[in-house]
Structure 1
Amino acid sequence: MSEIKTSKELAFEGIKELVEKFENNYKQFHASEYNETLTRQDFINPFFEYLGWDISNKQGYSHIYREVIHEDKLRQRRAYGEINKETKRQAPDYSFRIGGNRVFFVEAKKPSLNLKEDSDAAYQIRRYAWSGKLAVSILTNFEEFAIYDCSKKPSPNDKASMSRIEYINYKDYLNRFDFLYDTFAKENVLKGSLEKYNADAKNKKGTESVDIDFLNSLDNLRTKLASSISKLNGISERDLNFAVQHIIDRIIFLRVAEDRGVENYGDLREACSNSNVIAKAKPATKSGIRQAINNVDCHASLREARNDEKVVRNEGNNYYKNIVEIFKKADGKYNSGIFDFSKDKITDKIKVDNKVIKEIINDLYYPKSPYEFSVISVEIIGNAYEQFLGKTITIGNNHKAKIELKPEVRKAGGVYYTPEYIVDYIVENTVGEKIKNKTPNEIAKIKIADPACGSGSFLLGAYKYLLNYHREYYSKQGKKKFLASARRWRGSKEDAITEDGELALWVKKQILINNIFGVDIDSNAVEVTKLSLLLKCMEGETPASIMNNQSLFNERALPSLDENIKCGNSLIGNDFYSGGDSLNIDIETQYKINCFDWEREFPSIFKSGGFDIVIGNPPYGAELMDIERNYLERKYNLSNTNTAALFIGLSKHLLKDKGVNGFIIPKSFIYASNWENSRELIINDLQELVDCGKVWKEVKLEQVIIMFCNNFEVETYKASERNENNIITVGKIDKKTFREFGFYLNAVSNEELNIAYKMISSKKTVNDFCINRRGVGEQKHCLEEINTKKEYYKVLGGKNISRYYFPDNAKKYILKEYIQDDKAFIEKNSILAQRIVSYTEIPKPSIAIRAIPSDIINSLNKYILVDTINQLSNKSEYSTYFILAILNSKLISWYAYRFIYSKAIMTMQFDNPTTSRIPMPLVDLSKKSDKEIHDKLVNLVDNIIEINKKLNNEKNPDVVTMLRRQVEAIDDSIDKIVYGLYGLTEEEIEIIENGK
């Protein structure tokens, strides 16, 4: 009985046969007539089939889920007057995919081409893969197999060896078979072989992602264009920003359309060439030139004709005007609003220097451009545009343009694009849940809004989800109908799905118009959102499909989104102008506020009760003018004008009953005192809470995802947390915990919750034993040295203290004249919390804690505190050292992290609301046993403070090690006693110790 061979063994045998076949007919395969197509059929296709890939789609998957997409190069013919041009749109030969997502490209060549030295071919594959954000890709003619690291930006001047990480000759395929199979076989790619193979690519020197580079190109393009327009036109900065934005959007749209084969490749470049002008020359002039040239005796006529041609060139050789004509032609074809000159009265009248516009256009074409727009996803373009929108153009001396961050963006620390996995999760759990098991007719009634849409990432995510759902729906329905009556479908409007399994253009348009809505205060953001959505709508289309759409339905290719995506201030309605100071504000302020009336702008939606879904990443803590803040405080009544909180209030208003919300917002929402009203607003409706941690490394704030269903009360909510790019459900949390702990619990287990219940059973907190005061101190009056005879105090700040220790010698001082003794103390919940504080008169030593703590607590006496320290004044019969031991214990750190700070890292504050939540054990000092425990803790703390004093002054490393071990031993003893005070079992202590 023969053994059953593994897929790897079968692959080895198959590739061995290919190698032998190539070797035996080597000269034949190097002949000039043996082309790339034959190479693919005879060698490259079977090579990858042996590696487990379904090259010819034998499984019959729809186009979107095919494992391999063949993207043959397209050649198109075009006519310009009497001139015929042949141009080539480039695209990768193979796109290998898992679950519809690209994993690597393969570019095929014929064997007679020397790939080891061919820099053009290498540039080609690197350009494709870099544009598609793929880490590695392959260039092969079967004889040679080159693997490229495609994380680095390619240049047409690079040698073929640049970024090539493997080069394998066909004679070595069998020797290197393990590597080839383990890396590129489908079964291993599914297991993450490519990520493992190129894990360090992102850390390599010179790596720059396409979205970042594309942003830099947009900035460079914008600077050149703005400088030229400013120099040649009398135009305001606002109109300049408008013009530049619209011109760039139109150029990018058309370049994407060209690379996708929808537009004639090179039209924009041709508009910036002299041949374009000659082709447009007047027939009479051309005739005169020909006549003069044929009549050698008519020198005067020849000179006159040549002068006439020169005039034609000077008048007609306006590259920007040529491009505007292309824009206007595109308007008639697409109806997208991007090219609408009936509203845009600026861009067709301006002048742009020929040299500048030609340079801008040529920089977007192969070979100068590293971008292949046929493979750059709309999400990548949107990512670049998100950053682009955070900048504005200012004009300096000599009309020189400067690109600067907008003031509000500079204050916020930049613009950060919402990662796709966050968008996808929110969309799947809002849009996905709403449309589940619904028909297209039912889905058409569902309205989705992003009230701060930015570059449109959430709306694009929702649109993609709807497209996929409809594609699957119609594919299942369509198979039955096609079998029953194929003719009836063909060419009729019921034909919702094309022969290759894609949605018909009219379906994609209807989904966009029916379902997707957005608002943004930035008019440029509105245009970019439209651009992203329309590019997605146009994805996969061909000139034939667009022409078919026009001939069948007598309508232009794309829908106008003017009624779907609008500009305005989502938070401030027209009632802002109802009276008072708002009537007297200047026009510039009115322009900045930009009031927006939702009911008036979307009347039919609100007539039906409102939106079904509101999603997005609302702005956090946007800067507000006083007049705005006063209005917003009245309108939303949330005691919090952080704009993220206000958008939660807005969402409640926009949603119809049972409408769903999905936002990513600052994590402080779930525990901070100033967000209390926002938590109360949605507690009954809350469906899910996702702890995202730090989504953006550059942003100090952590984030959470909240999802709620308007006016749909449930008793529990789902708790989830982010792990890298995945979101994992931890469990469900009973909403009664909100009342018991005062905030939303997040991602805690039942065992942890039981420990917390045991700890709070005493009903006592730190605030029952201490007064929590914040030291503020006029830091501007703090001195490094004292050069005067005046009296002064020592100053202590958060950086000066550490656990169970602070230095006796302060490094800063403050004069007593800046302290009013009668207001030396901060009273609880008093406005005096903003004043300097002297603690010299406190009878007991107090506890100093960093205002943003990191397990750093100490006793304190005779210091002035600045606002980086909170002071706990002991008002109880307990020793301050006893309270200090409790606060410094591992148990309280564990509890505070989970049940007060909700696993936040940098956003917690040690204020009164915090200490009002720290549970304290009950100790009766009249009982001997309790008194002994109390005194033992006091003694241990006294010892650890003394050891820390020695440790701070000790220089001998051996002694330092010994003292540290003593501190650790005492710490362990304190922790054990504290566990006992709260009545924890051994099993519960293990949970704390192991951080489970």
Structure 2
Amino acid sequence: MPLFQTSVLKKYLSQQDTAKITTAYTEYAAYFHHSAIQENIRNSKEEQFQEGFLRELFVTILGYTLNPAPHFNLTTEYKNVKDSKKADGAILIPMGDDPLKNKVIGVIELKGTNTTDLGKIEAQAFGYKNNQPECVYVITSNFEKLRFYIDNAIEYLEFNLFQLSKAEFELLYLCLAYDNIKNNVAKSIKDQSVSEEDTITKKLYKDYSLFKRELFQNLVQLNPQYDPLELFQKSQKLLDRFLFIFFAEDRNLLPTNLIFRINKEWQQLQQMRIQVSLYDRYKIYFNDLNTGAKVQLPAFSQTNAIDKEEHHIFAYNGGLFKPDDLLNNLNIGDAILFEHTQKLSNYDFASEVDVNILGHIFENSLNELDEVKAQLEGAEIDKTKAKRKKDGVFYTPKYITKYIVENTVGKLCEEKRPLAPEGGILSKLPKKQKEQLLKDIQEYRNWLLQLTICDPACGSGAFLNQALDFLIAEHQYIDELQAKLFGDAMVLSDIATSILEHNLFGVDLNEESVEIAKLSLWLRTAQPNRKLNDLNSNIKCGNSLIDDPAIAGNKAFNWQQAFPKVFQEKNKKAYHITTALHDSRTSQRMIDYKVREKRDMGTNPYPNVQYLTSQEEHIIVKEIHDIVKADNLKIVEFNVCRDHIHILLVCEENELSKIVQKIKAKTARTVNIHRGITIINKPSTATTGEQAPSSIDEDTTIVATTREQAPSTRDEVATREAAPTSRDEDTTIVGTREQAPLSEVNETIANEKKRGEKQNSLWTQKFGSSEINTAEYLHNTIAYIKRNREKHELPPHDKQTQYYLENMLCTLEEAFETEYKGGFDVVIGNPPYGAKLESEVQNYLNKKYIKGGSETVISFTKLSYDTLLKNNGQFGFIIPKSFSFSSNYDSIRAYILNDINEIIDCKKVWKEVLLEQIIFFFQKGKKTENFKSGILKGQQIYELGQISKSTFDEFGFYLNGISEKELKIALKVNSSKKYLST
């Protein structure tokens, strides 16, 4: 909901002293609307105008007394209770009768006008509020804009001080005048607004539910030829159409009071003895909303006069009003439609009813759907197993969706968002600097338009709506920055259509929830005379977790086929790869430039090759095995032969260099550690991969990877053994230069803080590659690699090496099975959990995803990590707290441990749910040593500190809701292994 409910706010605004407001506004406008003063403010640095701003607005206009005047109630540089940080300003009110005792009721944080996005200083300002125990209000400003918060950062009012109208000033004065702050007027308005919205929501739902129930009963009675369950679903669609009209007629999208006018028109026809059903009249207008029309409607009045007005009904379309043969052929009683549409149209859907109410309507509709099914089947209704509980469906409150969106979508935006330079007016920047900033702005806009955000269990669309709000705000930030750059008035771009088309994606099992999600997005973005987006390509109905029709029936859902704009099929090819030990091959260039003759001042002219031992071959095979398993590589055949390796690799062409470079880099590192050439500088961590019994250095740990450091004078072209295309012959080909930078190969390696003290090249700088483009060539290559050791008269691999070799290979069929690239930039949501599943479904989820996958939240997490997210994609879910400690979740906790970066202990978000919840975040492939620990109190989240992931091994679960100080105590207790007896 908005910060204030309209009817409550109107009551308080009407009670203000009109003459006093007029005088104050005149004085306000004389200063803050003065163009020369505005120019000087924009040219001022933060510290230059801070006190002036407080004096001109708060003292002169709003009635404050600034320190050091006697009995001051406004002061600057106010110190926190718990630390030495200081707020730019603080509003004080007296405590009791003692004039010397004050408490802070509001904090003020100020920045210069070049801080375009006030959201950037929100956390800083609330940090000051949290250090003042009785603080209620937070005010942030850049001298041009001002934001006003009450209690938390979920909602706020924003004022443009340089363009403030008198009506807007009345609201500013109501909120910020000292007498009103002292008397907590704004807090009272907010509290009453919450109460009023709750009252209206309950009353509206009661009326809506009654309409739905009586409509369904009427449909069943008048349309016995149709299946009742199908009639129930059609009744929901009809109600969705009415809901759109209710909102649209009150928001100037349709003629005002359209429902009343249609009903009045029907009454007039009845009076003229023209027999037509009211539903037939509504069907005409439904078609108008699909195609557009100019219509004559009765003028809205309380008389029965037959006066007419011409109106234009725009073709909003979007899919909701497309022809539906079954719905059009239904019979509906006139009295049912007339009574309930009249009653519901009386609500003010522009000011009294927020779009978020649709989510609550959806929640309760699911329960009703279960009740209807039970009635139709003649079964008793078990209230404890209503669909909302059975499917784990609960509407997520805004303070949760806002936090998750800001810490997923917001984090990606922070990395890309262009920042205005500090100081000065943007329009007066030097030409080159202005051009660069404009380029940055345009690149950021283009990046934003390609961002993809998915809720795989979207319900009624709470997260998608929050993401929509966030992205609209980001585009507004760009518009404002661009306007300041050129010194123009800000013109907001009409971006909502593009966001719905390109940025937001959702799937849900329930058809009703999908339709309500679409409806809520339409209502948030609808503009007069602009077509609605067809959301069928982005918001879909299906079983997100199951793609097998044998299990999920017609709800089976294939993500790649459903969203071809997000996932693209890989164009895989087979390559024969060889690389050889450094200095073991001689290229023509080495001969031409006398590379060996010139090295070491001519004292080292012969090849220096240290051939691989059996132990080192084992190490290489195991390392490549681990890479294959970790990266899901497709290697059909492999062999290592003392001074070279052969790989038959199936991948995309643009993946080739990156894969081979990683293999070369990590195996070089491993072998050099084994040889004592590379010295590791920190303790080892556990490796991945399947373990075979072995006594040959198989536990060697790779901490940092040796970058192959061959000098530029050793620009060798590798000579490789090529598999014959039609006969057994050796062929020399030109090697492929490795183009992929190390940072793209292995972020863990690239980010390694401490490398070995000594580096050494193991492999040649280049590698050989040959695309295999015929079936004969392919089968010859497999045979050639398989018998390569025999060709070189080398003994077979030992048992342990052979185990790893065989375990990392795949069949041709597996190698060429359809795979996809791409994925979403962000996955967010509140997935269902605790759902009661059939044993067949449980077995399917356990097999497809991970141990424990029959608990759907585990499968949703694994699906998101493996399939939905791009590399470096951001993830945020609210899930049961047991995820962090219960043994049921052991496998998934270990699977994502490296990438988790934040866990918030939420306690109980829903009173109806027995379990407590946590919010957790990870960034795919972005490994961190620590994660942020936080806790939810009320509707605000507080950071407690950074927790080392080593505690996972120490305690066996994710610690959450714990501070660094508490962690030290826990570690001390745990290390002593002494516990209190019970």
TM-score scaled to structure 2, two decimals? 0.50
Letter in 1 for 2:538: N
Distance 1:678 1:758, change over 3 A: same
Matched residue, 2:932: 718
The gaps in structure 1 that reach 5 residues or longer are 1-36, 62-66, 68-97, 102-132, 136-179, 282-305, 487-496, 547-555, 583-588, 767-885, 889-996
Match of 1:346 among 326, 350, 360: 326
Match of 2:557 among 596, 599, 604: 596
CA drift of 1:189 comes to 6.3
Matched residue, 1:893: none
The yes-or-no answer on 1:452 pairing with 2:457 is yes
Cα separation, 2, equivalents of 1:386 and 1:694: 18
Matched residue, 1:862: none
The yes-or-no answer on 1:461 pairing with 2:466 is yes
Matched residue, 1:384: 361
Matched residue, 2:858: 645
Instruction: Describe the SS at the equivalent of 1:518.
Output: strand
Instruction: Describe the SS at the equivalent of 1:665.
Output: strand
Instruction: Describe the SS at the equivalent of 2:454.
Output: strand
CA drift of 1:675 comes to 0.9
Identity among equivalent positions (%) equals 33
Map residues 24-173 of structure 1 onto 2, 5 A cutoff: 43=19, 45-46=21-22, 49=25
Map residues 686-765 of structure 1 onto 2, 5 A cutoff: 686-762=900-976, 764=977
Distance 1:54 1:727, change over 3 A: farther
Matched residue, 1:521: 509
The yes-or-no answer on 1:470 pairing with 2:475 is yes
CA drift of 1:331 comes to 1.7
Distance 1:321 1:203, change over 3 A: closer
Matched residue, 2:817: none
Letter in 2 for 1:46: T
Distance 1:605 1:41, change over 3 A: same
Matched residue, 1:318: 277
Matched residue, 1:215: 205
**Contact 1:568 1:595 survives alignment (8 Å):** yes
**Contact 1:270 1:276 survives alignment (8 Å):** no
Cα separation, 1, equivalents of 2:359 and 2:504: 17
Instruction: Describe the SS at the equivalent of 2:826.
Output: strand
Distance 1:275 1:323, change over 3 A: closer
Cα separation, 2, equivalents of 1:517 and 1:530: 11
Cα separation, 2, equivalents of 1:537 and 1:389: 26
Cα deviations by residue, 1:278-323 (Å, 9 ceiling, x for unpaired): 4xx9xxxxxxxxxxxxxxxxxxxxxxxx9xx63xx11xx2111111
Cα deviations by residue, 1:641-676 (Å, 9 ceiling, x for unpaired): 211122111111211111111000000000111111
**Contact 1:690 1:722 survives alignment (8 Å):** yes
Map residues 773-792 of structure 1 onto 2, 5 A cutoff: none
Cα deviations by residue, 1:493-544 (Å, 9 ceiling, x for unpaired): xxxx75xxx442xx21011111000000001110000000111112xx3x4x
Distance 1:641 1:686, change over 3 A: same
Letter in 2 for 1:255: F
CA drift of 1:211 comes to 2.7
Matched residue, 1:330: 289
Match of 1:675 among 863, 881, 889: 889
Cα separation, 2, equivalents of 1:614 and 1:54: 49
**Contact 1:430 1:660 survives alignment (8 Å):** yes
CA drift of 1:57 comes to 8.4
Cα separation, 1, equivalents of 2:563 and 2:372: 35
The yes-or-no answer on 1:241 pairing with 2:232 is yes
Instruction: Describe the SS at the equivalent of 1:684.
Output: helix
Map residues 379-528 of structure 1 onto 2, 5 A cutoff: 379-392=356-369, 394=372, 407-409=385-387, 411-412=389-390, 415-436=393-414, 437-438=416-417, 439-480=444-485, 483=488, 498=491, 502-504=492-494, 507-528=495-516
CA drift of 1:397 comes to 9.6
Cα separation, 1, equivalents of 2:871 and 2:244: 39
Matched residue, 1:254: 245
Cα deviations by residue, 1:359-407 (Å, 9 ceiling, x for unpaired): 11101233xx4x4434522223333333334431628999999999795
Distance 1:327 1:40, change over 3 A: farther
Distance 1:208 1:471, change over 3 A: closer
Cα separation, 1, equivalents of 2:451 and 2:194: 44
Distance 1:326 1:191, change over 3 A: farther
**Contact 1:386 1:417 survives alignment (8 Å):** yes
**Contact 2:850 2:859 survives alignment (8 Å):** no
Distance 1:514 1:208, change over 3 A: closer
**Contact 2:880 2:916 survives alignment (8 Å):** yes
**Contact 1:231 1:399 survives alignment (8 Å):** no
- What's the Cα RMSD here? 4.3
Count of aligned pairs: 543
**Contact 1:52 1:186 survives alignment (8 Å):** no
CA drift of 1:722 comes to 0.6
Cα separation, 1, equivalents of 2:362 and 2:410: 27
The gaps in structure 2 that reach 5 residues or longer are 1-12, 40-56, 58-107, 109-117, 123-153, 157-170, 292-313, 418-443, 569-820
Distance 1:181 1:359, change over 3 A: closer
CA drift of 1:637 comes to 2.0
Letter in 2 for 1:599: Q
CA drift of 1:226 comes to 0.8
Matched residue, 2:538: 564
Instruction: Describe the SS at the equivalent of 1:391.
Output: helix
**Contact 2:825 2:874 survives alignment (8 Å):** yes
Instruction: Describe the SS at the equivalent of 1:444.
Output: helix
Instruction: Describe the SS at the equivalent of 1:887.
Output: coil
The yes-or-no answer on 1:666 pairing with 2:644 is no
Letter in 2 for 1:639: G
Instruction: Describe the SS at the equivalent of 2:450.
Output: coil
Matched residue, 1:622: 835
Cα deviations by residue, 1:672-705 (Å, 9 ceiling, x for unpaired): 1111112112101101100111112232210000
Distance 1:692 1:245, change over 3 A: same
CA drift of 1:252 comes to 0.9
Matched residue, 1:264: 255
More relative contact order, 1 or 2 (CA 8 Å, 6+ apart) = 2
Letter in 2 for 1:429: N
CA drift of 1:182 comes to 11
TM-score scaled to structure 1, two decimals? 0.49
**Contact 1:692 1:703 survives alignment (8 Å):** yes
Cα deviations by residue, 1:720-768 (Å, 9 ceiling, x for unpaired): 1111110111111111111111011113233322222222224x578xx
Cα deviations by residue, 1:793-852 (Å, 9 ceiling, x for unpaired): xxxxxxxxxxxxxxxxxxxxxxxxxxxxxxxxxxxxxxxxxxxxxxxxxxxxxxxxxxxx
Distance 1:186 1:666, change over 3 A: farther
Matched residue, 1:887: 981
Cα deviations by residue, 1:245-284 (Å, 9 ceiling, x for unpaired): 1111111111111101111012222222356764xx9xxx
Letter in 2 for 1:350: L
**Contact 1:218 1:388 survives alignment (8 Å):** no
Cα separation, 2, equivalents of 1:362 and 1:527: 24
Cα deviations by residue, 1:323-374 (Å, 9 ceiling, x for unpaired): 11111111224454343434x33211111111111111101233xx4x4434
Cα separation, 2, equivalents of 1:60 and 1:352: 62
Distance 1:405 1:355, change over 3 A: farther
**Contact 2:366 2:388 survives alignment (8 Å):** no
Letter in 2 for 1:633: N
Matched residue, 1:355: 335
**Contact 2:318 2:531 survives alignment (8 Å):** no
Cα separation, 2, equivalents of 1:660 and 1:186: 42
